[in-house]
Structure formats: structure tokens, C-alpha cells
Amino acid sequence: MAATDEAAELHRRFLLAESDLLLEDVELLRLEEAAEATPRLREAIRALQIRLGRRNPPLPPATLDAAHDLVFAVQQRLMSANPNNPRPSRHSGRPSGQPVMTVVREDRKWKVLTLPPPAGVEDEEWWELVESTVERAWDRWCYAQQHAIRAARMHLKAQLALAVARTAWSNYWMLLLDAERIQEQISAGRARPAARTASARRP
């Protein structure tokens, strides 16, 4: 990897870690039953957008839900820039790792991820995207689990935080099982042509 590429990747990872911290700030405010983002949090989100390359973005909306959605969108953009999991340009119109809103409890919403639609057996870039989505679901469960532990220690809506963590784990586990099923289908699809070729060669 060239020095410029390595520097860009380090910058991407730094911004991704920073976005995780901002999401944690959002969750802490929710534990305190706040409905709006603090000025400091709104400015931090704006600064993150600037470092990501957006010129003169406005302050994010004041509500915590809007702040969460904006940071999550930033994370998706950072994930798409992962050089180890490039998104193929020929599939630019295909939804990939789409977030879908689900209600956990007490009107608490959580975004769950979905796998990109199936592609051809030989589409290695698509498979890398599947793996990237599963990996991101794991990261989001780790984040939700840490948040649940903190909520329990602070005695602030621990049951709600635990419900979110369970939802995040269920999302990761279902994606993992789906990915394993897809991998089995891909392996079977590759084996069938080989078997037909071997059969055709028999005298």
C-alpha cells in the first residue's frame, strides 16, 4: 500500500472511531431521557462532516433521532470507502447493507442491516460486500453491548439498553447464518459444473 493510501486509510479509521464515540454520546443522552442533542454534540457532528470532506455543512437538526441518523449515514459512507471491501461500480444501483428501522420497545428505534441482493456465483466483489455487512453488524452489536453494560452500571434504562443489544445480536446472527447459507450455495454452484465436466470425460 502506498504511503498516501495508507494515510487515507488511517484517516478513514480515525473518523469511523470518532463516529462511534458520537453515537455513544447520543445513547448517553437518551439514557438521561434527553430528546435533543446538546450544542456540543451538534457541533462535533458538523466537524466530523467537514473532516469527511463536506464543505460548510449546517448544524445537524436538534433532535437526538436526527443526530443518530446523520452519524449513522456518515458511518455508512466511511464503510463504503473501505479499500479491502470495494463496492463495485457496476452495482451502484443495488442497495447494499441497507439499514431498516425496527422498534425495540418504548418507541426506541434501532437500525438493523440487510445483506445486498444475491449476485452471480463468480461475483467476488459482491461477496466481499456481504462479508463487510456482517462485520459491520458485529461491530454494532459490540457497541450496543458496551452501551448496555454502561446503562446497567449507571442504573439508567438498563432493560431498554439490553433490549437494543439483543436486537443488535439477533441482526448480526441472522446475517451470519444467511451469509453461511449463501456461501454453501456458491460452493455447490461451483461444484456442479466441475462434476458435469468430469462425467463428460468418462469413456
Q: Which residues contact 63 (CB under 8 A, 6 or more apart)?
A: 35, 36, 37
Which residue in the block uniquely carries the three cell numbers 445480536?
169
Calpha distance 152→140 (Å, rounded): 18
Mean per-residue pLDDT over the chain, rounded = 75
pLDDT surpassing 70 at residue 93: no
**C-beta neighbour count of 111 within 10 angstroms:** 17
Backbone angles phi, psi at 95, to 5 degrees: -65, 135
Query: Which segment, 109-113, 154-158, 162-166, 174-178, is predicted with the most confidence on average?
Result: 174-178
* Low-confidence winner among 92-101, 127-136, 170-179 (lowest mean pLDDT): 92-101
What does the pLDDT look like over 41-61, one tens digit per residue?
999 988 888 888 887 887 777
Residue type, 18: E
The H or E element spanning position 35 is none
Calpha distance 99→113 (Å, rounded): 5
Calpha distance 58→81 (Å, rounded): 23
The more confident residue out of 79 and 126 is 126
Calpha distance 147→110 (Å, rounded): 13
pLDDT surpassing 80 at residue 131: yes
Question: For the chain, what is the largest distance between any 2 Cα atoms, rounded to a whole number of angstroms?
Answer: 79
List the grid coordinates of 13.
479509521
Helices (H), 53-123: 64-80
The more confident residue out of 167 and 28 is 167
Q: What is the pTM of this model?
A: 0.56
